[in-house]
Amino acid sequence: MWNHTDDARDVVVVTGAGGMGTAVARRLGSGRTLVLADASREQLDRVVDALRAEGYDARGVLTDVSDRASVEKLARTAADAGRLTAVVHTAGVSAATASVRTILDVDLLGTVYVIEAFEKVAVRGTSLVCVASMAGHMASISAKDESDLATAPAAELLALDPVTALGDDAVAAYILAKRANLVRVQAAALAWSRRGARVNSISPGVIATAMAKAEADGESGEHMLKMIDACGAGRPGTPGEIADAVAFLTGPQAQYITGTDLLVDGGQAAWLHRHMRHG
């Protein structure tokens, strides 16, 4: 398709070529080398082809984020492609379609692998954003369990008490995995700062993507749609609104923001905390 001749380019990595990942790629990718990663060859090829047709210098790297070696290969490939400016981790699964084990492997361990693999190749100015979830703000776990989730080596995470207590409750697994994303990001900030790099998370509420559609069509769909109305938002968020938040967190106006989470949920978590339970 188009020729991209400048080989001293800034590199943007996006894991997950789904609804959010594609919007983020479009928002951040102009004039940069875009490295997209997804476990689905079909999805990856479709999105990379569409982006290339729109003039983006996009390339796909088939990656299973639940496989540490696969994530490390992605990090090396991206670092070799130029100056790593932004890494946006959107690959994930939800309780509507995935088992407890898959949620733990992809959403919990996958995020740990991304934080650790990209820390090794981060340079001054690299900014990582992990997409967690508003669900992570709903977890009620002890300070000790949370601290263990934040700092335990990846190989020990699945043996922690709050994880073994999940049984076959996929919703609880999703909530716990997303809580773990938030505290892993917090815990990682120091190492990233020492490299002159930043790491943050974004917690979306219901965002209109294939994942949210599967939720809406599933068992908890009615509850989810009622919540969108009750919390005052009146609509799901758009992938573009997540891309805007990512652009802010990876951009020059967020240089002093690291180790924290940005809720982009139309007020859903605020409503759940302050109105649904106490109102």
Ligand X SMILES: NC(=O)c1ccc[n+]([C@@H]2O[C@H](COP(=O)([O-])OP(=O)(O)OC[C@H]3O[C@@H](n4cnc5c(N)ncnc54)[C@H](O)[C@@H]3O)[C@@H](O)[C@H]2O)c1
To 10 degrees, the CA torsion angle through 187, 96, 214, 279? Answer: -70
Read out DSSP for 206-242? SBSSHHHHHHHHSTTHHHHHHHHHHTS--SPBPHHHH
To 10 degrees, the CA torsion angle through 72, 77, 79, 81? Answer: -170
Kindly tell me which residue out of 206, 246, 262, 263 binds ligand X, with binding defined by CB under 6 A: 206
Q: How many other C-beta atoms are found inside a 10 Å radius of the C-beta of residue 121?
A: 20
Q: Which stretch binds ligand X (CB under 6 A): 73-81, 183-191, 205-213, 245-253?
A: 205-213
Work out whether 17 is an interface residue with ligand X (CB under 6 A): yes
Work out whether 65 is an interface residue with ligand X (CB under 6 A): yes
Residue 178 annotated in active site: yes
Kindly name the residue from 56, 113, 178, 226 that is annotated as catalytic.
178
To 10 degrees, the CA torsion angle through 13, 18, 24, 25? Answer: 60
Total residues binding ligand X (CB under 6 A): 30
Kindly tell me which residue out of 12, 26, 38, 249 binds ligand X, with binding defined by CB under 6 A: 38
- CB of 184 or CB of 279, closer to ligand X: 184
Kindly name the residue from 174, 213, 226, 256 that is annotated as catalytic.
174
Residue 174 annotated in active site: yes
Q: Which stretch binds ligand X (CB under 6 A): 38-46, 117-125, 225-233, 252-260?
A: 38-46
Backbone angles phi, psi at 196, to 5 degrees: 75, 20
Element (H, E) at 62: strand 57-62
Work out whether 78 is an interface residue with ligand X (CB under 6 A): no
Q: Which residue numbers are catalytic?
A: 174, 178
Q: Name the residues that contact ligand X, by CB under 6 A.
A: 16-21, 38-40, 43, 63-66, 90-94, 106, 110, 131, 133, 204, 206-207, 209-212
